[in-house]
Amino acid sequence: QKEVEQDPGPLSVPEGAIVSLNCTYSNSAFQYFMWYRQYSRKGPELLMYTYSSGNKEDGRFTAQVDKSSKYISLFIRDSQPSDSATYLCAMTKSGANNLFFGTGTRLTVIP
């Protein structure tokens, strides 16, 4: 079993839709959670960084962490064609810097 599981998609939605991306993990040692966006042939770009259970909002993006269920989510409101990319969840343990990634979900927002 992988330590971080993420549905690879692909996921296609119409412009303006709400997108929900999810990851589950098995290791309770993970304390810090991130969402990255990666455009084709580019390096990942950090979108959200959280370390506690609950919600964190930044513009159209909301990151949600449920440590009791070992489940994290990223919500994108009013999705735009420019949001089309691969979204990677990542997490790390306390005191460590190396990241454990999900497989990534490929999102396409159709105009």
Partner 1 sequence: GAVVSQHPSWVICKSGTSVKIECRSLDFQATTMFWYRQFPKQSLMLMATSNEGSKATYEQGVEKDKFLINHASLTLSTLTVTSAHPEDSSFYICSAGTGEQFFGPGTRLTVL
The residues that touch partner 1, with contacts defined as CB under 8 A, are 6, 8, 32, 34, 36, 41-46, 49, 88, 90, 97-99, 101-104, 106
The answer to whether residues 45 and 28 touch, using CB atoms and an 8 Å cutoff, is no
Please identify, using beta-carbon distances, which residue of 5 and 17 lies nearer to partner 1.
5
Please identify, using beta-carbon distances, which residue of 18 and 96 lies nearer to partner 1.
96
Q: Taking the complex as a whole, how short is the minimal distance between the CB of residue 63 and partner 1, in angstroms?
A: 13
The answer to whether residues 54 and 64 touch, using CB atoms and an 8 Å cutoff, is yes
Please identify, using beta-carbon distances, which residue of 40 and 68 lies nearer to partner 1.
40
Strand, helix or coil at 90?
strand
Residues 92, 98, 103, 109, CA torsion sign: positive
